[in-house]
Structure 1
Amino acid sequence: MPGLLLDTLNGKRGDRVPLWLMRQAGRYLPEYRALREEKGGFLAMAYDSEAACEITLQPIERFGFDGAILFSDILIVPHAMGQHLEFLAGEGPKLSPPLVEAELDGLAPDRSRYDPIYETVRLCRQRLGADTTMLGFAGSPWTVATYMVAGEGSRDQHEARAMAYRDPLKLDAILDRIVAETIEYLSGQIESGAEAVQLFDSWAGSLAPDEFERLVIAPNARIVAALRAKHPDTPVIGFPKGAGEKLPAYARETGVQAVGVDETIDPAWTARELPAGMPVQGNFDPLLLLAGSDRLEARARVILEAFADRPHVFNLGHGIDRRTPIEHVERLIAVVRAFEG
């Protein structure tokens, strides 16, 4: 039988609101930190299927979340496309050569880099209970392109945004390749046992409206259409962080079955403006979870009540902060589990 989370993503409302948290498998957990101390760097763990599965399951074993999100990274796709990937302490991920100064055709693709990720999904699905949904994911083309073009993350995605105006054909070619790889990668995750997948567009909010339509909505729509043709029973969650007033157009035009909402958007407005009956995910502020003030319970209830008339997956507006105390997570879970909408 499908779990509560999967039912909700398919448009059904259950007797309670399902819950999972973005980046729930990670550094805020002492068991994760202990395993990383033993295993080494982030990328080595992501490619170690046994370790990655253990990390994926850690928050399920501790908190009993309704969904297990694959432990991996959105930059696996550019790594498989042929860019060199490394994670430097204190600096974050680095991709080389950056495509602002190199050509896509000069890269040597290696799709075997997806294989350990697929094995992680298989192991996790085997070890999870039937009522816990296995979630796969990939970065959306625009967000992945910003890293590939600049070779690293940035505050304003300057290099990729400038390329969109200066050399749109080059950026389009990069996005086209990412779209094709993402379809392949997510399809492989689904065939390995992922029951729903999420497209993370962490930098969608940096674009002007016409560029958002071209660089966010259009590429994601192609991915969703291809996945629905190959895997019609697998929901796709689209999460365009920072989309703001462009969120309803994203929800209508990409074809995603559910939409993730960041913490900057009023949940009441979201409930009113999104297509009727569309499942929504979000949108608790990760910094309020970190702070754990007396506003934690009240804000959680505001979100729960705003989305009480549609299928709702409770989640954060982005990833959990690594400094978040365990007891704050437990407080949040208690509020969500006690809610009767």
Structure 2
Amino acid sequence: MANNSTTKRLLGVLRGERHDPPPAWMMRQAGRYLPEYRELRAEKGGFLDLVYDPAAAAEITLQPLRRFAFEGAILFSDILIVPYALGQDLAFVAGEGPRLSPTLDTTPLERLERRPERLDPIYETVRRVKAQLDPSITLLGFAGSPWTVATYMVAGQGSKDQMAARVMAYGERERFAALIEAIADMTVDYLSGQVEAGADAVQLFDSWSGSLSPDEFAAWVFEPTRRIVAAFKARHPEVPVIGFPKGAGEKLPLYARETGVDAVGVDETIDPDWAHANLPAGLPVQGNLDPLLLIGGGERLEAAVDKIKAAFAERPHIFNLGHGIDKSTPIANVETMIARVKGA
């Protein structure tokens, strides 16, 4: 039975309500799979140009809500804004992805000049979205978790095994811990600024947590996330925090208990029945359709939607993907997914 104590159903779920059908949004829903996004990007320039144009970034945030019956709007930005605010240079290379410099495998963090004013345009984007957003829609801010952000700061770019950061964490423990602490401190300020600008809830993305051994996971995922959540909650006790440690696997229940997050994102590698059985009772969950199944579509897509809904039917649930939507996803398949979630 739905609890209708809030007009924002998604926000209600994050506060412990169950709704049938569950509210839905998609990670990376504002982006490359939409033709209107590609058109705006062609007009405005590169990715970072869009992020730092609050009018354009607000428009991109709102675009998917005009097409689909989503109940969450996710801020259009990037997790590497925090390294940029910590003083690294940031560029997005066409066909190759983000580049940060100087890399911290060779450059001490102390040599970087903090630039917190680089966060200000993101707050303006949040304000613009909030002013235009239907009051029933939950506005989600976000940041990268310290481990994932650190992997980019150390290597200067993404990598398959996060080798540079893992080697530093093993061999230069104190220096790596100082980097994690600096990221965590900036992240608390960044998330707080998004909330003050109008975000209703926030999500921490730990996209590379799955590359860590159990002991390293405890050091660089559990502890920094717990510290961020505690500091953030001291400022904004009523604002929910979603934790998304992609690849956490069997460590997900401990993550849920140890970090203090209000909800956990479940990636596509985790069986939803296992997640329901092993996560703390009543904890809100988000997920966990395979983004590649959304490309394939058809009967298997519909069956997967039904399985996920059934697995989480007895707890607060937000329907989402197990990670971000791929740029090649057909619009029609997103429409099918949403219709199935809503029971149409």
Pick from 212, 215, 221 the counterpart of residue 210 of structure 1. 215
The answer to whether the aligner puts 1:289 opposite 2:294 as a matched pair is yes
Pair 1:131-2:128 in alignment: no
Q: Secondary structure at the match of 2:320?
A: coil
Q: Does 1:53 align with 2:65?
A: no
Pairing 1:170–2:183 present: no
Mark the runs of 5 or more structure 2 residues left unpaired by the alignment.
Answer: 1-5
> How far apart are residue 2 of structure 1 and its match?
4.0
Residues 40-99 of structure 1: CA distance to partner in whole angstroms, max 9, x if unpaired? 000010010000000000001111310000000000000010000000001100000000
Partner Cα separation in structure 1 for residue 20 and residue 261 of structure 2? 24
Instruction: Determine the structure 2 residue equivalent to 1:105.
Output: 110
Q: Give, in whole Å, the separation in 2 of the partners of 1:211 and 1:326.
A: 40
Cα RMSD for the two superposed structures = 0.8
State whether structure 2 residue 338 is matched by structure 1 residue 330.
no
- SS of 2:298's partner is coil
Deviations 1:288-327 (A, max 9, x none): 0011132000011000000000000000000000000000
Residue aligned with 1:315, SS: strand
Q: Compute the TM-score of the two structures, normalised by the length of structure 1.
A: 0.98
Q: Which residue of 2 aligns with 1:180?
A: 185
Which runs of at least 4 in structure 1 moved beyond 4 Å after TM superposition?
Answer: none
Deviation of 1:15 after TM superposition, in Å, equals 3.5
- 2:240 maps to what in 1? 235
- The code of the aligned residue for 2:258 comes to E
Tell me how far 1:227 sits from its aligned partner.
1.1
State the alpha-carbon separation in 2 of the partners of residues 159 and 265 from structure 1. Answer: 27
Q: Deviation per CA, 1:128-150: give whole Å up to 9, x if none.
A: 01100000000000000000000
Percent of residue pairs identical: 64
1:269-295 per-position Cα deviation (integer Å, ceiling 9, x unaligned): 000100100000000000000111320
Asked if the contact 2:22–2:341 (Cα under 8 Å) also holds between the matched residues in 1, the reply is yes
Amino acid at match of 1:131: S
The reply to whether residue 142 of structure 1 matches residue 142 of structure 2 is: no
- The residue type paired with residue 51 of structure 1 is A
CA–CA distance in structure 1, aligned partners of residues 289 and 229 of structure 2: 26
Between 1:141-150 and 1:286-295, the stretch displaced more is 286-295
Of 270, 274, 278, 1:273 maps to 278
**How far, CA to CA, are the matches of 2:82 and 2:20 in structure 1?**
38
8 Å contact from structure 2 (residues 85, 114) kept in 1:
yes
TM-score by length of 2: 0.98
- Quote how far apart the aligned CAs of 1:16 are: 2.1
SS in structure 1 at match of 2:321:
coil
Give the conservation status (yes or no) of the 8 Å contact 2:52–2:122: yes
Per-residue deviation at 1:109?
Answer: 1.1
Q: Aligned pair 1:160/2:172, yes or no? A: no
Q: Secondary structure at the match of 1:314?
A: strand
